[in-house]
Amino acid sequence: MKGKINYSVTDGIAILEVDNPPVNPLSDGVRHGLIESMEKAESDDSVVGIVLTGKGRSFIAGADISEFGQQIEGPSIHDAFEKIEKSTKPVIAAINGSALGGGLETALCCHYRVSSKQGFIGLPEVNLGLLPGAGGTQRLPRLVGPAEALKIMLSGRHIPAVKALDMGVIDSLSEGDIVEDAVAFAKDVAEKNETHPLVRNLNEKVLAARGDENIISEARALAAKTRKGQFAPGKIIQCVEEAINLDDFDEGMKKEAEYFIECLLNPQREAMIHIFFGERAASKINDVPKETPKMDINKAGIIGSGTMGGGIAMCFANIGIPVHIVDQDEENLKKGLAAIERNYKFMVDRGRMSAEQMEKTFGLISSGLSYEEISDVDIVIEAVYENLDLKLEIFKKLDEAVKDDAILASNTSGLDVDALADCTKRPGKVVGTHFFSPANVMRLLEVVRGEKTSNETLATIMSLGKVLKKAPVVSLNAPGFIGNRMLFGYTTQANKLLLEGALPHQVDSALENFGMSMGPFRMLDLVGLDLGWRARKLSGTESPITAKINDALCDLDRYGQKNGKGFYNYVEGSRAPHPAPENEAIYEQVSKDNGFERREISDQEIIDRCILALVNEGAKILEEGVAQRSGDMDVVGDMDVVYINGYGFPIWRGGPMQYANMEGLDVISAKIDEFAKNDPEFWQKADLIGSLSEVKGRFGDAPAPEDRKPVSGFNKSSVAGNL
């Protein structure tokens, strides 16, 4: 059994301490322990009140997520909660840290809630494809009102104790020792009050919401905007409708249980939980021991004040680390800082930060023209454009200018990190940190481990990534790393579909309906078609067939969003794409010139070819061991975490590899074989797909090889290769 309850009595108050490290989920041992301890306290006449708290940094982090989808023995959460709610003695939740999901639901069953200042609450089940299924959807609306409860449940956000006090979720804030304060609170209410309040009986706010259709329609609009394609949000809204409209609390609980099961059985739940554990596993690296020392990062330097440099600087400032940007061009620097200021102002205008917060945060960003100004920083992230010679020059200078033990990182999307390391006297301190644009928003951080990157550097960057609120994933130093290597096949297929007869908006809408946040042609227009075109021209090489349409558009000055026309047309001041019928003649001509006969293409073919290109390349990465850790399920998770946090893959499908697992690798294999009949050169099926499909296996069943295949082929500029 996992977890237990530590029981003690102080001054007539029983203290029940949940002990299930590290974050105290409600595993079977905790549920057993809660029932036993509640019975013990109830039957002890010397006990007048009960305090429930958590050991360590968490109160209770919710149900035990690893139990979902498993056969559960013993008492349920509901059995344990019934003991709390039916207690004749006042039960006080002493929230010492995270009270999330089932953790907050436990607290909502208690008669009173006291929290330390570090405490925070939330119902994040929606992030796991679930709804709060232990009374959260029925009790929270009774405390904070249905409209607020819906916002909390649909966002899954964490709410700090001070705010929770304002909202009325907690009754009192503890300034000192939370358990001592809760014991005093318990003694006080036990002495003064004959009866103790239960949230289930507070009907005023739900009754007031009856007949107010706006609450539900606003929640539906919010879910449509922020949780496109997800199943659980609709069910959460239905639960709250029941809370509003049913007279009997227990009837509402029955409905909640019914809808919870629907979520539990929905494949989205498995997919989203795969990502929850995948993100956590990604931060562990097999050959880097947990106890590896990490450097303190108290000050950072950034080279380059462009979009990436500015966004990365914001990441540091946002968490309170001073950061200094160096750019060789004063005008660029001014523009870059103005862009950062605009971003912060936008956040203030949207109510996402206060004017004071902005002043404080923006004040942490300084700038200048000389490398000497960053001599004392703990890390420098170089974020100039993708040109190896330029980066080599910068790394040589940084190696001289910056203190010896500082980390030198490159925000490269595909250049050779070993080449950068080898031009310095500190190769162990050199690492790739590939942020995604906009860097202050996107969660993915691809951490590129060079041959000589030290364990200390790697451990420091992984922990810094988490502090910066990113999802860090390690890749070996191989062309395209993980994400862009997979992307190459995806965009190749999108371009081939265009040559074969599809139109950009058809490809984009098929993939957006599949769940991708942005189709490939909208993405290309956003990035700029001219980047690849210029790089190809500079290199003097013949463009690949898949870039011919792109080149033809650029020849007609159609560069994408930046000049209002690319694959789509744009009206000034708007990013909304409008189909460009004038391009169709170009597509037809390029198709004809390259021997393609245009035909009708179904949306399903578009989805299959683009997504299976990702899957096939992902399987090859698994075979080669480019993803950093050993060949178990975790590495499969790495690729999925990359795609969800950096490339707009729908979280509810669990990432490309999980999608393939859930479709069945035999189905995937057969489709690839079919595509290979027309395009054998592109569709070279990964051996792993063939072998796993024969045994009806899944990615993650077969270990990747211990020895990875040698990888080579870095370009001097990574732009042309990626687009």
Query: Interface with ligand 3HC includes 386 (CB under 6 A)?
Result: no
| Binding region for ligand 3HC (CB under 6 A) out of 60-68, 140-148, 446-454, 611-619 | 60-68
| Residue 58 binds to ligand 3HC (criterion: CB under 6 A) | yes
Instruction: Among 101, 301, 515, 519, indicate the residue that binds ligand 3HC (CB under 6 A).
Output: 101
Which of 251, 626, 289, 323 shows the shortest CA–CA distance to 468?
A: 323
Rounded (10°) angle between helices 504-514 and 603-624 = 70
138 or 495, CB closer to ligand 3HC? 138
d(CA 463, CA 379): 13
For ligand 3HC, the closer CB: 134 or 665: 134
Alpha helices in 516-560 (DSSP H): 520-527, 529-539, 548-555
Question: Which pair of tokens denotes residue 597?
Answer: 């006969």
Q: Is 19 helix (H, G, I), strand (E, B) or coil?
A: strand
Of the candidates 157, 101, 103, 132, the one whose C-alpha atom is nearest the C-alpha of residue 240 is 132
Residue number, 232 or 439, with CB nearest to ligand 3HC: 232
**Residue with the CB atom nearest ligand 3HC in the bound state:** 101
Whether 248 and 235 have beta carbons less than 8 Å apart is answered as no
Q: Give 132 or 450: the residue with its C-beta nearer to ligand 3HC.
A: 132
Q: Is 638 a binder of ligand 3HC (CB under 6 A)?
A: no
- Contact assessment for residue 119 and residue 161, using Cβ atoms and an 8 Å cutoff: yes
Count how many residues are written for the chain.
723
Binding-site member from 5, 13, 17, 25 for ligand 3HC (CB under 6 A)? 25
What residues contact 367, with CB distance under 8 A and at least 6 apart? 305, 324, 325, 326, 327, 333, 336, 337
Choose between 23 and 179: whose C-beta lies nearer to ligand 3HC: 23
* Measured distance CA(511)–CA(644) in Å, rounded: 14
Q: Of residues 259-318, which lie at the interface with ligand 3HC (CB under 6 A)?
A: 277, 280
Per CB under 6 A, the list member of 5, 61, 165, 486 interacting with ligand 3HC is 61
Round to whole Å and give the CA distance between 385 and 543. Answer: 22
Out of 1, 6, 22, 541, point to the residue binding ligand 3HC (CB under 6 A): 22
Torsion angle in degrees (nearest 10) through CA of 61, 63, 66, 67: 160
* Greatest distance between any 2 Cα atoms in the chain: 91
- Among positions 125, 525, 608, 638, the unique one binding ligand 3HC when judged by CB under 6 A: 125
Q: Is 163 in the site for ligand 3HC (CB under 6 A)?
A: no
Tell the smallest beta-carbon distance from residue 131 to ligand 3HC (Å). 7
Nearer to ligand 3HC, 249 or 570 (CB): 249
**Window 518 to 537, contacts with ligand 3HC (CB under 6 A):** none
Rank residues 23 and 170 by Cβ distance to ligand 3HC and give the closer one. Answer: 23
How many residues interact with ligand 3HC (rule CB under 6 A)?
Answer: 26
Kindly list the catalytic residues: 105, 125
Alpha helices in 647-716 (DSSP H): 656-663, 665-678, 687-694
24 binds ligand 3HC (CB under 6 A): no
According to CB under 6 A, which one of 14, 35, 41, 65 is a site residue for ligand 3HC? 65
Q: In three state form, how does the secondary structure of 172-185 look?
A: EEECCCHHHHHHHH
497 exposed, middle or buried (CB, 10 Å; 0-12, 13-18, 19+)? buried
| H helices present in 556-663, as ranges | 584-593, 603-624, 633-646, 656-663
Amino acid at 574: S
Burial 324-346 (b: 16+ CB within 10 A, else e): bbbbeeeeebeebbeebeebbee
Chain center to CA of 628? 19
State yes or no: residue 105 binds ligand 3HC (CB under 6 A). Answer: yes
* CB of 368 vs ligand 3HC, minimal distance in Å: 35
Stretch that binds ligand 3HC, among 130-138, 171-179, 409-417, 469-477 (CB under 6 A): 130-138
Q: Which of 100, 108, 169, 333 binds ligand 3HC (CB under 6 A)?
A: 100
Q: Does 23 bind ligand 3HC (CB under 6 A)?
A: yes
Q: Are 253 and 133 in contact (CB under 8 A)?
A: no
Q: From the CB of 268, what's the least distance to ligand 3HC, in Å?
A: 14
- Which residue, 196 or 294, is less far from ligand 3HC as judged by CB? 294
128 touches ligand 3HC by CB under 6 A? yes
Residue 28 in contact with ligand 3HC, rule: CB under 6 A = no
Q: Compute the least distance from the CB of residue 572 to ligand 3HC, in Å.
A: 43
Alpha-carbon torsion, ordered 613, 617, 622, 625, to 10 deg: -170
Residues 76-95 interacting with ligand 3HC (rule: CB under 6 A): 77
Query: Is 242 or 327 the residue whose CB approaches ligand 3HC more closely?
Result: 242
Report whether 52 contacts 94 (CB < 8 A): yes
Q: In the set 29, 33, 62, 141, which binds ligand 3HC (CB under 6 A)? A: 62
**What are the residues binding ligand 3HC (CB under 6 A)?**
22-23, 25, 58, 61-66, 77, 98, 100-102, 105, 124-125, 128, 130, 132-134, 136, 277, 280
